[in-house]
Structure 1
Amino acid sequence: MTQTFTTPPADRKPKVRSPRDHLVVRALRTVQADGVAVYTFFLPGADLLKVAEISRVHRDADGGGLRGFQRREIRDHVRSITTFLDSGHSVLFPNAVLLAITPRATFARSRGEKPAGEVRAAEAGTLYLPRPTREDAPKSAWVIDGQQRCLALAQARNCALPVPVVAFASEDLALHRQQFILVNKAKPLSSRLIDELLPEVSGDLPRDLAPRRVPSALCDRLNTDPDSPFHGIVRRPSDPGIGGPGRPPASAGVVIDSALLTVIRASIASPLGALAPYKGVGGRPTDAEGMYRILLAFWSAVRDTFPDAWGLPPGRSRLMHSAGLQAMGCLMDRIMARAGGATDPRRFAREALGRVAPHCHWTEGHWAEIGRGWDEIQNVSRDVRALSDHLARLDHQATFARAVA
C-alpha cells in the first residue's frame, strides 16, 4: 500500500544557530493530526533534561487549578535503570522517550536528490531546539513518557548513550495530558491519577475512558466548589500529602476520591440511580449540571444531619469512610428519586435523613441489626452491602410510617 506524506509547515530557520542558543540534532519530520509536526531523532541521554521539563501534577497553592500531569518520581525504578546503565556491559536502550516540544523549535529541511522509489512518510533535516538562556528560564520541551528513564540517564555515568526520541510540536497542556493518558493507559498508572486528569483533557478518548470523565469532573467540582460540603476535604493524587511545611492541615483530605467516584459511577450506571436520568442517551448529551445539583443537595443535607461526624478522618467517623460513603450513596438513590417534585431538594433530603439519623452510629455505638461496632465497618463488599441494606430498611420503615400517619 502506498503511503502518503503531508507537506509539513514551511521551514523557519532560527536567527541564531550557536550551540549555546540551540541544541542541534539531525531529525526526521512528518505531520499528523491537524498539522502537528512530529519529529524523531537521537539525543545523548544526559542532554534530555537540559531541554525537557518534567511537569508534575499538582494544584495551585490555594487548592485551585490543576497543573502538570506527571506522577511522582519512583526512586527505586530510577535507581534500577541507573544501575543497569552503569553496569559496564554493552547497553541496548532502544526505548524512545516521548516529548512535547515548543513550536518555537525550527527545522531546516535537507537539500539534495531523493532516492528513487522513496516512500515519502517523512523528511530529513536539522532540528534546532532552543536552549534555556538562564537557569530559571523555561525549557523548550516537556516529558510525556519516559520520565523515570530521563532521570536515570541524567544520573548515569554513561552520559553519551544515544537515546531515541519522538517529539510532537505543541504547547497545549490538554494535548500533553491526553497523550500522557493514552501512552500510560496500558501500564501500571494509578487509576486515581488518570481520573483526576480526565476532566482536563479535551480531546477524544478511548471507549473505556470516556465514561470516566464526567464522574471525575463532578468529584473535582465537589472538592473545589466553596458551596460544596466536600470543599477541600477530598484527597486526590495531586495533593502533596498531610502535614509538613506547605502541606494541607491535618483536617484536609479525609475523603479519598476513589470512594466518591464509586458513589457517583454507581448512581449513574444504575437504572434506579438518582443521577441516571441525567445520563446522555442517543443524541442527548449528559446533563452534568443536573447531576451536580442532586449531589450538592443530598450531601449538603448529609452534612447538616450529621455535623459531628462530618469532616473527620475515617478512623474517627465511618460516615467519611469508603464503606459509609458507598452505603450513603445507595440511600441517596432512594431519597433523591422521591425528591423529583420537591421545590427544595436539600430540605427534602434533610427531612428524610432526619428520620434515619437516630438509628445511625457513625462515631460511636453499635449497629445491632448488622452485628457491627461503629469502627468495625470495613470497605469490603459484605459490610458495604449490609450497611446499605440496613439504611434502606430504615428509610423504607420511616417513609411507610409517615405515609400511614
Structure 2
Amino acid sequence: MTGGPSIKRRALRIEQHPEIPLYVFTLAADEVYVVADVARIARDEANRLLGYQRPEKKQHVQQILEYLDGESVLFPNGLIMALPSSVKFKASPGPRSNDSLATSGTLEIPMPASPDEPRPALIVDGQQRSSALAQTRRKRLPVIVAGFVTEDLTVQREQFLRVNTVSPLPTNLVSELLPEVGVALPSKYSAKQLPARLVEMLNTDRDSPFLGMIRRASTPADQKQAVVADNSLVTALGESLNSPSGILFLYRNLSTNTIDSATIRTLVITYWTAVRDTFPEAWGLPPTKSRLMHGVGIKSMGRLMDRVMANVNLKGDDPHGQAMRELSLIKTQCRWTRGRWAELNLDWKDLQNTPRHISTLANYLMREYARARSDAS
C-alpha cells in the first residue's frame, strides 16, 4: 500500500515496551489527516466489530478550532496514533543519541501512492483535536504526536479504553468494545466485560429473543428493530453475575476464575425467551410504547430473573415451559403498554429509567411473585 512520498520527522524512540516501539515526534496541523485516519466503530456484513472511535462531537471540534484560529496559540495537547509496521527509524549517529530512556533519530512514515489507499496511521486518542487541526488556518502549527507501532486492533482498542478512563466514554461504546479486548483492564471496565460479552451473544445468537434488537454504538440509525439499549442489559446481567445473590453468580468459580458459559447462555436465553412469550404484545416495541423494552423494564425483569430461574430446572423437561409458568404468576399485574400500576400509583408511561423507579418496580414484581408462589403452594 506504500509507494508514495514518505514523511520524515525528528523523533525520540522511547524505551518502554520490548515488542511495541513507541515514538514521540511532531506533525504540522495539515499533515495530521494526511497521515492518520479515524477508526470509527461499526459492523461489517459478517457482524464483526470494526474500529473503536465514537462519533465526532461537532461542538467540541468548533471550540478547539476557535482557539486554534485565535491570536495566540499554545497547544501542548498531543495526539496518540497507532503506526504501521512499515515505519522506519534511524538513530542519530554518535553515543549521545541514547540516554538509556530514549534514542534520538529520524522517523520515516511511508505514505500511500494514491488518495484512494488507506492512510498509514490511526488516531487512538485526540480525534476531536485532529478534526480541528485539519480545519485550522494555522496549517503548519507543530503538533505533538505519540505513536506506537502496531496493526493489532486489539492493542489499539485496549489503549483507547485506557486513555479514556478519566474522561468517561459513552457507556454503549464501552460495552461494545469490551468483548473485543482480551487483556487485563482497569477495574471499572473489567467488571463489565463479561456482561458485555453476554449482551453481544444475545444480539447475535440465533436462539436469542434479542437477536438484532439491541442498540449499540455501531448500530445504524435506520435499524428500527434495535429497541433495547445495550447498557440496560449490561447492567441487568452485571448485577446477576457480580452479586452473590444473583442466579448467574452461581456459575462463576472465583477460586479458579472460570465460568460455566454454556449454562449461563442457556439460562439467559431461556428466561428472556419466556419473558418475550409471556408478554408478546409488549415485546419488540420502542421503549416509548413499551416499558418492558425500556431501561426500567429490562433492569427490573433482570432482577426478577434471579428469583424465577432459581425455580427452573434447566436440565429438566421443558425449561422454557417451566419459566413461562413461573412468569405467569405476575403476568396480570404488569402494565407495560397501557393502564396503571395501581400499587405503585403510576401510569405505565410514567415509569422512568431511574434508580428509584427501577428499585420500586423490581421490588413490586418480586413481592408479587413470592406471594403468588406462596399462595400456589
> Do they superpose with TM above 0.5?
yes
Counting aligned pairs with the same residue, the percent is: 40
Q: Report the aligned-residue RMSD.
A: 1.9
CA contact (8 A) 1:323 1:379 kept: yes
TM-superposition CA deviations, 1:309-328 (whole Å, max 9, x none): 10001121111111111221
Q: Deviations over 1:53-72 (max 9, x none)?
A: 1011112246x111100111
CA distance change for structure 1 residues 155 and 74 in 2, over 3 Å: closer, same or farther?
same
Deviation at 1:366, TM superposition (A): 2.1
Structure 2 residue corresponding to 1:79, chosen from 58, 62, 78 = 62
**Cα deviations by residue, 1:281-322 (Å, 9 ceiling, x for unpaired):** 122313333322211110011111111110001121111111
1:97 aligns with 2:79: yes
AA aligned to 2:366 is A
- Which stretch shifts more, 68-77 or 322-331? 322-331
Relative to structure 1, is the Cα distance of residues 113 and 355 closer, same or farther in structure 2, using a 3 angstrom cutoff?
closer
Partner of 1:49: 33
Aligned length in residues: 375
Counting only pairs closer than 5 Å after superposition, residues 209-288 of structure 1 correspond to structure 2 as: 209-241=189-221, 247-248=222-223, 250=224, 252-288=225-261
State whether structure 2 residue 50 is matched by structure 1 residue 67: yes
Paired residue type of 2:276: R
Hey, what does 2:153 align to over in structure 1?
A: 173
Alpha-carbon deviations, 1:87-115, whole Å to 9, x = none?
122x1111221101001111122222437
Alignment match of 1:39 (pick from 2, 14, 23):
23
Aligned to 2:90: 108
Aligned with residue 154 of structure 1, among 134, 139, 144: 134
Pick closer, same or farther for the CA change 1:381–1:111 going to 2, 3 Å: closer
Q: How far 1:272 sits from its partner (Å)?
A: 2.0
Contact 1:336 1:345 in 2 (8 A): no
Q: Distance in 1 between matches of 2:159 and 2:60?
A: 22
1:363 equivalent in alignment to 2:337: yes
Change (3 A) 1:189 1:381: closer
Q: Which amino acid is 1:221 matched to?
A: M
SS of the equivalent of 2:235 reads helix
> Quick check: which has more Rg, 1 or 2?
1
Letter in 2 for 1:22: S
The 1:211/1:291 distance shift into structure 2, 3 A limit, reads same
Cα distance in structure 1, aligned partners of 2:6 and 2:155: 25
1:171 shift after superposition = 0.1
- Aligned to 1:397, what secondary structure does the other structure show? helix
CA distance in 1, matches of 2:59, 2:125: 18
Structure 1 gap ranges (5+)? 1-14, 242-246
Say whether the 8 Å CA contact 2:92–2:106 is kept in structure 1.
Answer: yes
Q: For 2:275 and 2:235, locate their aligned partners in 1 and report how far apart those are by CA, in whole Å.
A: 18
Q: Deviations over 1:366-404 (max 9, x none)?
A: 22222222222222333322322222232223322332x
Report the TM-score when normalising by structure 2: 0.94
Give the residue type in structure 1 aligned to 2:83: I
Aligned residue among 127, 133, 143 for 2:107:
127
Instruction: Judge conservation of contact 2:22–2:148 (CA < 8 Å) in 1.
Output: yes
The equivalent of 1:395 in structure 2 is: 369
Give the Å deviation of 1:365.
2.0
* Cα offset, 1:22, TM superposition: 0.8
Could you tell me whether the CA contact under 8 Å between 1:273 and 1:337 is conserved in 2? Answer: no
Q: In structure 2, do the counterparts of structure 1 residues 269 and 35 end up closer, same or farther at CA, with 3 Å as the change threshold?
A: closer
Aligned to 1:347, the other structure's residue is in SS state helix
CA contact (8 A) 2:278 2:328 kept: yes
TM score, norm. by length of structure 1: 0.88
The one-letter code of the counterpart of 2:107 is L
Q: Distance in 1 between matches of 2:190 and 2:57?
A: 28
